[in-house]
Amino acid sequence: MFRVGQKLACVRPTEVCKCLVKDRVYTCIGFQANGWVIIDCCSNHPGGGWYPDRFRPIVERKTDISIFTKMLSPVRKHEVAR
């Protein structure tokens, strides 16, 4: 479901460890054999991993500003055919 290096947002924090904060973005740094996700912040968490359902993936989109750069180009005036 997730991959190493992927950004994850916390959707279900826990009362046990205060390092998980709702809507905070973390980075997946690995997985445990039982399928738990290891994130970049809570290295002191007992067991070292979290249930994957505590996170959702962040969709990273490539920024494309070409439509805005076209708006900056001067408009050519077309001759009207008679």
- Checking if the pLDDT of 73 tops 80, the result is no
Q: What is the pLDDT at residue 43?
A: 58
Q: 62 in a domain, yes or no?
A: yes
Residue ranges making up the domain that contains 26: 7-72
Q: What is the pLDDT at residue 15?
A: 84
Q: 82 in a domain, yes or no?
A: no
Query: How open is the CA angle 46-51-11, to the nearest 5 degrees?
Result: 110
pLDDT average, residue stretch 39-57 = 81
Q: 1 in a domain, yes or no?
A: no
Q: What is the pLDDT at residue 24?
A: 94
Q: 21 in a domain, yes or no?
A: yes
Q: What is the pLDDT at residue 3?
A: 93
Q: 77 in a domain, yes or no?
A: no
Closest CA to 29 of 3, 61, 1: 3
Q: Which residue has the higher pLDDT, 59 or 12?
A: 12
Q: How many CB atoms lie within 10 A of CB 20?
A: 21
Number of domains in the chain: 1
Q: 13 in a domain, yes or no?
A: yes
Instruction: Write down the pTM of the prediction.
Output: 0.68
b/e sequence 24-36, b meaning 16+ C-beta within 10 Å: eebebeebeeeeb
